[in-house]
Chains A and B, each alone.
Chain A
Amino acid sequence: MNLHEYQARELLRRAGVPVPPGEVATTAAEAKAVAERLGRGKVVVKAQVHVGGRGKAGGVKLADTPDQAKEVAGKILGMKIKGLTVEKVLIAPAAEIVSEAYVGVIVDRTSQSPVFMVSPAGGIDIEEVAAKTPEKIFKARVDARYGLLQHQAMALAFTLYSDVALVRQAAVILQKLYRAFVDAGASLAEINPLVVTPANEVVALDAKIVVDDNELERRPDIEALRDVSAENPFEVLAREANLTYIKLEGDVGCVVNGAGLAMATMDLVKYYGGEPANFLDIGGSSNPEKVVTALRIITADPNVKAILFNIFGGITRCDDVANGIVTATKQFTVKVPIVIRLTGTNEEAAVRILEGVGMKAGTDMDEAVKKAVEAAKKGAAA
């Protein structure tokens, strides 16, 4: 789960990282009031959306006066950045900056540990720095049992600054950033830029935190930060039903059990000349209700011209899936053809259930995918 910048700033502030003041506004009038509270000086107005490149898209603007802040916020609120509507803006004092650095910590797959990455070349996309000037990136692996050690934090900070007063401030910030990272159950926490002010203070201007979804169950305070308005409503519905759904652009709706098989099914749709409309994993243990929700979500996508079920029964019972399909077709009309492939646990019972309502099911994955692709093409031509 991605947190908004203002939420990440708040978590860092709570962990003791120096973060300049700033408040969120959802209307232009609120933005003006915030700018007034911040002392009527120059402010920066920043769109709060879950995408990178906000600045380039026009989602970050400066304002000299509260009236200008109102005007600028009015333009940014409601604008679309990479398909997402801006619902909130963050207003913060425009900082005077002597230098900009990058500091971040991620869970690294290769070393199976948290790894810090810092760079004196901050303020820009760190992936770009890593690709073009890898010598400007410095890393430290953390043993998660002990956390970021003092000497590691100092060594990293010395790669950023030569003034030891700044080094000490940065080292403290790095250890507090690590604390915030662990407390949030994050897979990534970064400050970009970490700046030095004319008063020789090191402060965090922008922050980003990505939380590991698997942590949310035991961290209700973090789960409460979820901004449902920033997500696709059907993906929200799916998550609430314990399904994983990701909308794509094609016209063959897919319902599959298991993530790997779901991806392989999408790939096979493409292999036979079709385009998948979605990724949908109904998960391990089956439950007819989940299948009903899955069909409800897929049939709500107007692009879908055919629906493909691909079920390899293990823990998932084929008869549960068949019952779900039958229940769904009784609850609402499915206007597009459904092609069903199921094999494995309770396959025979499933076939009987489907035949009872005049539906057929096959056992071969390739044949089912071919049929679904053809049906979608016919549907698109009609």
Chain B
Amino acid sequence: MSIFVTKDTKLVIQGITGRDGSFHAKQALEYGTRVVAGVTPGKGGQTFEGTVPIFNTVDEAVRSTGANTSVIYVPAKFAADAIFEAADAGVALVVCISEGVPVLDMTRVMPYLQEKGVRLIGPNCPGLISPGQGKVGIIPGRICAEGPVGVVSRSGTLTYEVVYQLTRAGIGQTTCVGIGGDPIIGTNFIDCLEAFEKDPATKAIVMIGEIGGTDEQNAAEFVRAKVKKPVVGFIAGQTAPPGRRMGHAGAIISGSSGTAAEKIAAFETAGIAVMKRPADVVALIQERL
């Protein structure tokens, strides 16, 4: 099993003819993901790579193909509308890869999605992959392998680093989810922890956080109260100065809150095994499987 993306995922790609969209659509197809439709306004009726039908709207795409998941590769200023469009078309899961989405746009998107009961992953995220079943987003398929570990992270390439270390050591994954580095995101650590806890195939969880906000602290409290499976954690940004945005819009220490030290302490209190460096993941997981 896995979470959020399975063999039943039928994917529509918003922005399939763009530079990023077309590149990652090919990768998703090669990985064996069921890419059933693409959307680019004005290119309806064409096909992508000769196999995937392109529609003008997400609504048409969903009605014609039964797509249940959407992934968004449109420029940031159009991303909020693309999320609204996907939600209105009736998909259950929207994954927004676009980076640079204005945070005020997200304050309007989130209550709308909650009322509709639509799950969003991202924005500003690498998406997710369930090895052997499908990938939605940009996580490279070849660094993953099927196995018992669930991975959830706010980062992109740091996730790849950790997943690659696991895979090289012969430890595969159920699902790897990149939840995104923005201050307002759809799916958070707790949502993923809850799903991994319920997923029978997941035997251990890796959680990769960073400075800024209180999501990791809240997640630690959730782990203490609700998660029985072993959890291994990492926090990036121990050397980050306060008040500076460290690349990710959400990675900022405000005043004295959101520091790595505070998050690591919360992990330790909750019984989460803390990795001092990314390479520690292998030993810590091996001890717990």
- Closest B residue by C-beta to A243: B247
A214 CB to closest chain B CB (Å) equals 5
- From B54-62, B104-112, B265-273, give the one contacting chain A: B104-112
A170 CB to closest chain B CB (Å) equals 24
Of residues A187, A258, A260, A267, which shows the largest number of chain B Cβ atoms within 10 Å of its Cβ?
A260
- Closest B residue by C-beta to A184: B104
Q: Which residues of A contact B161 (CB under 8 A)?
A: 261, 264, 312, 365
Name the interface residues of A323-373: CB closer than 8 Å to any CB of B.
343-345, 365-366
Does A150 touch B at the CB level, under 8 Å? Answer: no
- Closest B residue by C-beta to A144: B107
- From A32-40, A69-77, A89-97, A107-115, give the one contacting chain B: A107-115
Does A159 touch B at the CB level, under 8 Å? Answer: no
A109 touches B184 (CB 8 A): yes
A261 touches B184 (CB 8 A): no
B210 touches A263 (CB 8 A): yes
Please give the number of chain A residues whose Cβ is less than 8 angstroms from any Cβ of chain B in the complex: 51
B255 touches A127 (CB 8 A): yes
Which of A260, A271, A316 is within 8 Å of B276, CB to CB?
A: A271
- Closest A residue by C-beta to B108: A144
Q: Which residues of B contact A143 (CB under 8 A)?
A: 111
Does B197 touch A at the CB level, under 8 Å? Answer: no
- Closest B residue by C-beta to A218: B77
Of residues B101, B112, B211, B245, which shows the largest number of chain A Cβ atoms within 10 Å of its Cβ?
B245
Tally of A-B Cβ pairs under 8 angstroms: 168
Does B92 touch A at the CB level, under 8 Å? Answer: no
Does A253 touch B at the CB level, under 8 Å? Answer: no
Name the interface residues of A303-323: CB closer than 8 Å to any CB of B.
312, 314-316
B156 touches A258 (CB 8 A): yes
A109 touches B183 (CB 8 A): yes
- From B10-18, B39-47, B221-229, B234-242, give the one contacting chain A: B234-242
A246 touches B241 (CB 8 A): yes
B246 touches A279 (CB 8 A): yes
B111 touches A145 (CB 8 A): yes
B246 touches A259 (CB 8 A): yes
Does B99 touch A at the CB level, under 8 Å? Answer: yes
Does A5 touch B at the CB level, under 8 Å? Answer: no
B102 touches A212 (CB 8 A): yes
How far is it, in angstroms, between the C-alpha of A248 and the C-alpha of B239 when the chains are bound? 9
Q: Which residues of B contact A215 (CB under 8 A)?
A: 102, 104
Name the interface residues of B23-46: CB closer than 8 Å to any CB of A.
23
A180 CB to closest chain B CB (Å) equals 13
How far is it, in angstroms, between the C-alpha of A263 and the C-alpha of B157 when the chains are bound? 11
A293 CB to closest chain B CB (Å) equals 16
A212 touches B159 (CB 8 A): no
A109 touches B138 (CB 8 A): no
Which of A246, A260, A268, A271 is within 8 Å of B155, CB to CB?
A: A260
How far is it, in angstroms, between the C-alpha of A110 and the C-alpha of B183 when the chains are bound? 9
User: A258-B157, A260-B159 given as contacts; is B237 within 8 A of A267 (CB)?
Assistant: yes
User: A214-B101, A279-B240 given as contacts; is B156 within 8 A of A314 (CB)?
Assistant: yes
Which of B164, B237, B260 is within 8 Å of A343, CB to CB?
A: B164
Known: A112-B107, A145-B112, A365-B161. 18 other contacts (CB 8 A): A110-B214, A114-B107, A144-B104, A144-B107, A185-B104, A187-B103, A214-B101, A214-B249, A259-B181, A260-B153, A260-B154, A260-B181, A263-B251, A312-B161, A314-B126, A314-B140, A314-B157, A314-B160
Contacts A/B (CB < 8 Å), 30 sampled: A109-B183, A109-B184, A109-B213, A112-B106, A112-B107, A112-B184, A144-B108, A144-B111, A187-B183, A213-B245, A218-B102, A244-B246, A244-B247, A246-B246, A258-B157, A259-B248, A260-B210, A260-B248, A261-B155, A261-B160, A262-B247, A263-B240, A267-B237, A270-B238, A281-B247, A284-B99, A312-B157, A314-B138, A314-B156, A366-B279
Partner-B contacts on A (CB < 8 A): 107, 109-110, 112-114, 127, 143-145, 182, 185, 187, 212-215, 217-218, 244, 246, 248, 256-264, 266-271, 276, 279, 281, 284-285, 312, 314-316, 343-345, 365-366
